[in-house]
């Protein structure tokens, strides 16, 4: 199959972009990615977005963003898979380039939560679950994560404060990421004193939703501009897998089955084992998701994922660094753009451009975006080509 | 046709009718009357009851009726699809237009071969539905019919009604007397146009005639209907083991019982107003469920409702052997009264929609 | 207004009407027409008993639009006696000790209004600690 490389990356700061619209936000990361790639022009634009219809009253982002970026005439469409939208759009861009149908594909993730304030945002988020049988009961994604966490604590007799290890790692890494929403390390003591969000989830177990946009330009190596200045990063494995939409339809809610399959398939394509990874940009929308994702990837036994955060293994200099630029927890969770941010950050790591956040000698990275409680899972393996 | 006279005023079904199953419902929140007095009279007011039941935020006449109806069906062991009517009497139907009864009929599984309708006659809407069901079964048109009286009554803040306007009621599945747990032996209704209490369209709270609600309304209609029924059946208070009268407060049913010659003991089991408040269309009917929970086969009960506007339905019942095995099949009235969460006036104001949210 | 959607689901909402697989006898709620156990068609209606136990639960303080007036409220995963898990609110729980494993029963309550106070009232299942066990713990 044709090799697909990531030729350009761009990302805006994650936060509250009150003064710019969804199209302007998208344009910023697109311009950065194009500049990074030496001016490559895409023939296709895949927009990752989750909630622009209810939140910005704006559908049809493919045409809108292609137009606003001066790309009229290209192929463009929105790819939506809830929180996995960014990963799913990357998958579509990968397939387009790998198939030979598209020479240069632009994958741009954008989410604008701040076009609305108040409970309509929570109602919009709930549409990513089963509207007929979950949302109608007042279930929110956060409440659902709380249900998982309570059950996890119960089944595996985990000390409650153990989950603090995950946000500690994320915030420590976010502290040196200028684009992160929270650039401040936290202590376990602060975690223990945090306000309750949805028992047992506290404020530090929940990643903040925020605006953001990130972009990737994918192409074949032979189409790179002459004198391409960066180390080459290729997409070595790509996978998108679904599970039941509703959590209650699973025989074992504490297993992220789709995440397990997705990691297996992506790793098989890349020809590596998860243990060989140098870093894992996982989807820490909730600290319980981190534990379940580590277990699904085979990096921890069932019920043991929390232990990885106890002895430094997940730190930048640990055996398996995660959330190297702060993850969703500290960098922020810009919805459908998150999966694209993860890939941008992995590329920075593999190019060895991560500065203070650099994982030494990084060669293999895995990025994974979850839609709902791993109802959609997009996993990608990135490799530095020397 | 024979002319109506004191001797033949009773409503006579073509075949005898009885109660197949009954079910009570009382929501679990209680507002002590002292809380209302604390807010509006510095605690100085005399209290007409101890406390009243208040519906939860997710409860209304439809949901409360569903639970009572399920209890009635469970006692009766009759399939809901055999009930040919679901009639709900209330003055606090959740919709101004759209039947409560269709919600209830669908929820209990009685649709689609069923009559459904909402009844409104202030506090006697429930017994009115019951009398209609007696006619429906008594005529042979149907074998089973469900009649419900249920309310989440309104009381204007600081009004006398705010102390008592409670929530609760009961459901009765009626059927042929020979299969029943209590035979409805006699029925009589007494009605005049007496405007003692009303709520105009689009108004949130009812108006009432204060002391006018007493003698010309409550006492007149209850005593007339009860006395007429006893005269026509040649019975006297001592022929009844229990009596239940509409109970808007503690005093009225006690006084009307005394006027008619009933003792405190006869009304004690059905007198629930001190602990759940006035449940309006449910008030007389839930008094009856409390009595059926403890009555023995062969015992007789007199039930007299009162609805403002005004009228009273009087019924004489006799309990059968079937009560013994059926009454434990569902929660009893006192079970609901016992599950009690006390609330303060602020919580009450929130639950009853008295806080302005927009 | 979402009248047709709520109307369509009334049997499931009011009475926990699910399905039973005629091939392997698996009980399905919510109904899904294809049995996840054996993969065959499963459209036979089945009335669930409404009994079950709490699998997990939490409290929502920051309620989505349509639920603000009832917040805070408790949502749970209920393990039904017949096997399936179902997402539902717990009701009548303040003052009660709810834990994983607490036996619960289905009741029909108001879920929300469709839109504002002019909209349809949406009724459906919730669960509460079993009433009679509260009274006589035998």
ipTM: 0.95
Q: What is the pLDDT of residue C2?
A: 86
- Clarify whether residues B212 and B115 are in a common domain: no
Which member of C12, C36, C61 has the closest CB to residue A198?
A: C61
- Clarify whether residues B165 and B208 are in a common domain: no
Superfamily of chain region A130-205+234-385: Thiolase/Chalcone synthase (3.40.47.10)
Q: Hey, is the C-beta of C7 within 8 angstroms of any chain B C-beta?
A: no
Interchain contact, B56 vs C92, CB within 8 Å: yes
Q: What is the pLDDT of residue B40?
A: 95
Q: What is the pLDDT of residue B134?
A: 98
- Clarify whether residues B132 and B59 are in a common domain: yes
Q: What is the pLDDT of residue C94?
A: 80
Which member of C64, C73, C76 has the closest CB to residue A122?
A: C64
> B284, B305 in Cβ contact below 8 A?
yes
The pair of three-digit structure tokens given for residue A283, joined into one six-digit string: 């989807």
The pair of three-digit structure tokens given for residue B83, joined into one six-digit string: 């009930």
The DSSP element (H or E) to which B300 belongs, if any, is strand B300-304
> B278, B33 in Cβ contact below 8 A?
no
Contacts of A246 in chain C (CB under 8 A): 30, 87
Interchain contact, A246 vs C30, CB within 8 Å: yes
Q: What is the pLDDT of residue B225?
A: 98
Please state, in angstroms and as integers, the Cα–Cα distance from residue A54 to each residue in A59, A112, C120, following that order: 9, 11, 21
Interchain contact, C110 vs B59, CB within 8 Å: yes
Overall residue count recorded for chain B in this entry: 358
The span from the CA of A327 to the CA of A170, in Å, is: 6
Interchain contact, C69 vs B339, CB within 8 Å: no
> B97, B202 in Cβ contact below 8 A?
no
The DSSP element (H or E) to which B244 belongs, if any, is strand B242-245
Query: For residue range A26-36, what is the model confidence (pLDDT) as tens digits?
Result: 999 999 999 99
Residues in chain A predicted with pLDDT less than 50, given as ranges, are none
Q: Which CATH class is domain A5-118+209-223?
A: alpha beta
Angle (nearest 5°) at CA B274 between B158 and C109: 80
Neighbours of chain B (3+ CB pairs under 8 A): C
Cis peptide before A200 (omega within 30 of 0): yes
CB contact residues (below 8 A), chain C span 60-79, against chain B = 69-70
Contacts of C135 in chain B (CB under 8 A): 331, 335, 338-339
- Clarify whether residues B251 and B151 are in a common domain: no
Interchain contact, C65 vs A119, CB within 8 Å: yes
Q: What is the pLDDT of residue C138?
A: 38
Cis peptide before C13 (omega within 30 of 0): no
- Clarify whether residues B189 and B321 are in a common domain: yes
The pair of three-digit structure tokens given for residue A323, joined into one six-digit string: 């959330």
Count Cβ atoms below 10 Å from residue A298 Cβ, excluding itself: 14
Angle (nearest 5°) at CA C81 between C80 and C83: 65
The span from the CA of C50 to the CA of C125, in Å, is: 9
Please state, in angstroms and as integers, the Cα–Cα distance from residue C52 to each residue in B103, C12, C56, C86, following that order: 24, 16, 12, 10
Residue B77 inside a domain? The answer is yes
- Indicate if the pLDDT at residue B175 is higher than 90: yes
- Clarify whether residues B187 and B175 are in a common domain: no
- Clarify whether residues B314 and B225 are in a common domain: yes
- Clarify whether residues B337 and B299 are in a common domain: no
Q: What is the pLDDT of residue B272?
A: 98
Eight-state DSSP code of residue A309 = G
- Nearest-CA distance A152 → chain C (Å): 9
- Nearest-CA distance B39 → chain C (Å): 24
Based on the residue annotation, tell me whether B123 is a catalytic residue of this protein: yes
Q: What is the largest CA-CA distance in chain C?
A: 46
Give the number of domains in chain B. 2
Q: What is the pLDDT of residue C133?
A: 59
DSSP letters for A257-272: HHHHHHHHHHHHHHT-
Interchain contact, B339 vs C135, CB within 8 Å: yes
Q: Hey, is the C-beta of C134 within 8 angstroms of any chain B C-beta?
A: yes
Which of the residues B51, B67, B93, B123 is marked catalytic? B123
- For the sheet containing B51-54, what is the strand order? B51-54, B29-32, B341-342
Tell me the pLDDT band of B358, cut-offs 50, 70 and 90: low
The span from the CA of B204 to the CA of B91, in Å, is: 12
Which of the residues B93, B208, B221, B246 is marked catalytic? B246
> A201, A210 in Cβ contact below 8 A?
no
- Nearest-CA distance C125 → chain A (Å): 9
Residue-number span of the structural domain to which B287 is assigned = 182-325
Contacts of C122 in chain A (CB under 8 A): 136
Find, among B33, B35, B30, B88, the residue nearest to B60 by Cα.
Answer: B88
> B54, B31 in Cβ contact below 8 A?
yes
Domains of chain C, earliest start first: 3-135 (2.40.50.840)
Based on the residue annotation, tell me whether B91 is a catalytic residue of this protein: yes
Interchain contact, A246 vs C70, CB within 8 Å: no
- Clarify whether residues B315 and B337 are in a common domain: no
Residue B154 inside a domain? The answer is yes
Mean pLDDT of the B206-224 span? 94
Interchain contact, C123 vs B103, CB within 8 Å: yes
Q: Burial-class residue B245 by CB neighbours within 10 Å (0-12, 13-18, 19+).
A: buried
**Residue C137: alpha-carbon gap to chain centroid:** 24
> C118, C132 in Cβ contact below 8 A?
no
The span from the CA of B156 to the CA of B167, in Å, is: 15
The span from the CA of A188 to the CA of A169, in Å, is: 11
Q: Residues in chain A whose beta carbon is closer than 8 A to a beta carbon of chain C? A: 118-120, 122-123, 125-126, 130-140, 142-143, 146-148, 150-151, 154, 197-201, 246-250, 253
The DSSP element (H or E) to which A6 belongs, if any, is strand A5-11
Interchain contact, B357 vs C132, CB within 8 Å: no
The span from the CA of A280 to the CA of A273, in Å, is: 13
The span from the CA of B244 to the CA of B286, in Å, is: 9
The span from the CA of A231 to the CA of A386, in Å, is: 7
Chosen for mutation from B27, B99, B100, B107 (greatest number of chain C CBs closer than 10 Å) is B107
Q: What is the pLDDT of residue C98?
A: 93
End-to-end CA distance of chain A: 20
The span from the CA of B222 to the CA of B312, in Å, is: 6
The span from the CA of A99 to the CA of B5, in Å, is: 97
Angle (nearest 5°) at CA B42 between B39 and B48: 75
Overall residue count recorded for chain A in this entry: 386
> A304, A313 in Cβ contact below 8 A?
no
Interchain contact, C58 vs A150, CB within 8 Å: yes
Contacts of A253 in chain C (CB under 8 A): 55, 77, 85
Q: CA-nearest residue of chain C to A153?
A: C56
* Domain locations along chain A: 5-118+209-223, 130-205+234-385
β-bridge partners, A41 = none
Mean pLDDT of the B44-57 span? 94
Contacts of C108 in chain B (CB under 8 A): 63, 66-67, 107
- HSE (side-chain half, CA atoms, 13 Å) at A166: 31
A-C contacts at Cβ under 8 angstroms: 112
β-bridge partners, A216 = A9, A107
The span from the CA of C121 to the CA of C7, in Å, is: 11
Contacts of B67 in chain C (CB under 8 A): 107-108
Tell me the pLDDT band of B45, cut-offs 50, 70 and 90: confident
State chain B's mean pLDDT as an integer.
96
The span from the CA of B336 to the CA of B256, in Å, is: 27
Q: Hey, is the C-beta of C135 within 8 angstroms of any chain B C-beta?
A: yes
Which CATH number do you get for residue B272? 3.40.47.10
> B8, B232 in Cβ contact below 8 A?
yes
- Clarify whether residues B49 and B166 are in a common domain: yes
Per DSSP, helices labelled H in chain B are: 33-41, 61-76, 100-108, 125-138, 160-164, 220-233, 251-260, 264-268, 273-276, 283-292, 323-326, 333-338, 345-351
Interchain contact, A122 vs C63, CB within 8 Å: yes
- Clarify whether residues B282 and B336 are in a common domain: no
Interchain contact, B60 vs C110, CB within 8 Å: yes
β-bridge partners, A76 = A45
Interchain contact, C65 vs A122, CB within 8 Å: yes
- Nearest-CA distance C16 → chain B (Å): 10
- Nearest-CA distance B230 → chain C (Å): 39
HEC per residue, B262-287: CCHHHHHCCCCHHHHCECHHHHHHHH
Q: At what angle do helices A338-351 and A85-98 cross, to 10 degrees?
A: 60
- Clarify whether residues B136 and B220 are in a common domain: no
Q: Burial-class residue A220 by CB neighbours within 10 Å (0-12, 13-18, 19+).
A: middle
B-C contacts at Cβ under 8 angstroms: 57
Per DSSP, helices labelled H in A107-199 are: 119-126, 141-156, 165-174, 188-192
Local mean pLDDT, 10-residue blocks, chain C (138 residues): 91 95 95 92 95 97 92 97 97 88 97 88 96 56
The span from the CA of A335 to the CA of A327, in Å, is: 13
Based on the residue annotation, tell me whether B93 is a catalytic residue of this protein: no
Q: What is the pLDDT of residue C137?
A: 40
The per-residue b/e assignment along B169-187, b for 16 or more CB within 10 angstroms, e otherwise, is bbbbbbbbbeebbbbbbbb
The per-residue b/e assignment along C41-69, b for 16 or more CB within 10 angstroms, e otherwise, is ebeeebebebebbbbbbbbbebbbbbbee
The span from the CA of A186 to the CA of C31, in Å, is: 46
Do B and C have ≥3 inter-chain CB pairs under 8 A? Answer: yes
The pair of three-digit structure tokens given for residue C96, joined into one six-digit string: 């009660």
> C124, C13 in Cβ contact below 8 A?
yes
Interchain contact, A143 vs C58, CB within 8 Å: yes
The DSSP element (H or E) to which C10 belongs, if any, is helix C10-15
The DSSP element (H or E) to which A35 belongs, if any, is helix A22-36
Which member of A118, A131, A147 has the closest CB to residue C56?
A: A147
CB < 8 Å & 24+ apart, contacts of B348-355 = B348/B29, B348/B31, B348/B35, B348/B54, B349/B157, B350/B57, B351/B29, B351/B54, B351/B55, B351/B56, B351/B57, B352/B54, B352/B154, B354/B157
Chosen for mutation from B58, B104, B357 (greatest number of chain C CBs closer than 10 Å) is B58
Interchain contact, C66 vs A120, CB within 8 Å: no
The pair of three-digit structure tokens given for residue A46, joined into one six-digit string: 């895949």
Please state, in angstroms and as integers, the Cα–Cα distance from residue C43 to each residue in B107, C11, C23, following that order: 21, 14, 11
Q: CA-nearest residue of chain A to C85?
A: A248
């Amino acid at each position: 199959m044709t090799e697909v490389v990531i030729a350009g990356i761009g990302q805006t700061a994650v936060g509250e972009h009150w003064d710019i619209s969804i199209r302007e936000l998208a344009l910023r990361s697109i311009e950065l990615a194009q500049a990074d790639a030496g001016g490559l022009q895409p023939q296709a634009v895949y927009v990752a977005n989750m909630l622009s219809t209810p939140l910005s009253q704006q559908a049809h982002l493919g045409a809108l963003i292609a137009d606003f970026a001066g790309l009229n005439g290209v192929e463009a469409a929105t790819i939506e898979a809830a929180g996995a939208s960014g990963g799913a759009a990357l998958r579509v861009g990968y397939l387009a380039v790998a198939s030979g149908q598209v020479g240069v594909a632009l994958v741009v993730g954008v989410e604008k939560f701040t076009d609305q304030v108040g409970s309509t945002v929570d109602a919009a988020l709930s549409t990513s679950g089963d509207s007929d049988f979950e949302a109608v009961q007042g279930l929110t994604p956060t409440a659902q994560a709380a249900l998982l966490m309570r059950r996890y604590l119960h089944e595996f007799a985990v000390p409650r404060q153990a989950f603090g290890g995950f946000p500690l790692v994320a915030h420590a890494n976010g502290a040196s990421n200028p684009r992160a929403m929270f650039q401040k390390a936290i202590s376990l003591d602060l975690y223990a004193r945090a306000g309750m969000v949805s028992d047992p989830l506290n404020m530090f177990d929940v990643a903040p939703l925020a605006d953001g946009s990130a972009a990737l330009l994918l192409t074949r190596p032979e189409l790179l501009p002459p004198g391409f200045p960066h180390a080459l990063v290729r997409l070595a494995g790509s996978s998108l897998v679904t599970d039941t939409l509703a959590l209650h339809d699973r025989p074992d809610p504490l297993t992220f089955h789709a995440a397990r399959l997705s990691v297996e398939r992506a790793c098989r394509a890349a020809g590596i084992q998860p243990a060989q990874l140098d870093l894992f940009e996982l989807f820490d929308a909730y600290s319980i998701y981190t534990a379940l994702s580590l277990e699904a990837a085979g990096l921890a036994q069932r019920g043991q994922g929390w232990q990885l955060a106890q002895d430094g293994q997940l730190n930048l200099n640990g055996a398996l660094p995660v959330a190297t630029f702060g993850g969703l927890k500290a960098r922020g969770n810009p919805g459908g753009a998150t999966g694209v941010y993860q890939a941008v950050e992995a590329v920075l790591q593999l190019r060895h451009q991560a500065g203070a956040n650099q994982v030494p000698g990084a060669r293999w990275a895995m990025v994974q975006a979850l839609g709902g409680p791993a109802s959609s899972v997009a996993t990608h393996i990135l490799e530095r080509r020397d | 046709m024979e002319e109506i006279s004191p001797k033949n005023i009773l409503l006579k079904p073509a075949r005898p009718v009885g109660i197949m199953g009954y079910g009570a419902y009382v929501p679990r929140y209680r507002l002590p009357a002292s809380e209302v007095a604390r807010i509006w009279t510095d605690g100085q007011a005399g209290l007409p009851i101890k406390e009243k039941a208040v519906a939860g935020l997710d409860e209304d006449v439809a949901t409360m009726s569903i639970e009572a109806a399920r209890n009635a069906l469970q006692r009766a062991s009759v399939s809901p699809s055999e009930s040919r009517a679901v009639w709900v009497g209330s003055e606090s139907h959740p919709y101004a237009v759209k039947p409560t009864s269709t919600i209830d009929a669908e929820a209990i599984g009685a649709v689609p071969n069923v009559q459904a309708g909402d009844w409104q006659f202030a506090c006697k809407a429930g017994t009115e539905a019951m009398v209609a069901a007696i006619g429906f079964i008594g005529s042979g048109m149907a074998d089973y019919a469900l009649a419900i009286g249920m309310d989440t009554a309104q009381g204007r803040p600081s009004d006398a009604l705010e102390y008592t306007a409670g929530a609760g009621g009961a459901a009765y599945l009626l059927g042929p007397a020979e299969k029943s747990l209590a035979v409805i032996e006699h029925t009589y209704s007494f009605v005049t146009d007496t405007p003692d209490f009303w709520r105009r369209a689009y108004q949130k709270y009812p108006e009432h005639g204060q002391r006018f609600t007493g003698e010309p309304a409550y006492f007149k209609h209850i005593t007339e209907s009860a006395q007429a029924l006893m005269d026509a059946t040649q019975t006297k208070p001592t022929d009844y083991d229990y009596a239940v009268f509409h109970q808007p407060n503690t005093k009225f049913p006690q006084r009307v019982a005394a006027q008619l010659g009933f003792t405190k003991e006869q009304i004690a089991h059905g007198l629930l107003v001190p602990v759940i408040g006035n449940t309006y269309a449910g008030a007389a009917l839930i008094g009856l469920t409390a009595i059926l929970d403890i009555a023995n086969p062969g015992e007789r009960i007199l039930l007299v409702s009162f609805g403002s506007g005004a009228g009273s339905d009087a019924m004489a019942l006799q309990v059968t052997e079937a009560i013994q095995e059926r009454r434990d099949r569902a929660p009893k009235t006192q079970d609901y009264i016992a599950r009690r969460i006390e609330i303060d006036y602020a919580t009450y104001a929130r639950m009853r929609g008295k806080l302005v949210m927009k | 207004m979402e009248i047709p959607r709520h109307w369509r689901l009334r049997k499931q909402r009011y009475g926990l009407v699910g399905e039973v697989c005629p091939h392997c006898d698996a009980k399905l709620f919510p109904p899904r027409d294809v049995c996840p156990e054996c993969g065959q068609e499963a459209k036979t209606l089945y009335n669930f008993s409404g009994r079950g136990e709490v699998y997990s639960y939490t409290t929502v303080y920051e309620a989505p639009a349509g639920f603000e007036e009832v917040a805070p409220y408790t949502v749970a995963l209920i393990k039904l006696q017949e096997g399936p898990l179902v997402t539902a609110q717990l009701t009548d729980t303040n003052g009660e000790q709810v834990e994983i494993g607490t036996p619960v029963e289905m009741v029909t309550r108001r879920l929300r209004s469709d839109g504002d106070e002019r909209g349809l009232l949406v009724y459906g299942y919730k669960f509460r600690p079993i009433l009679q066990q509260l009274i006589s713990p035998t």
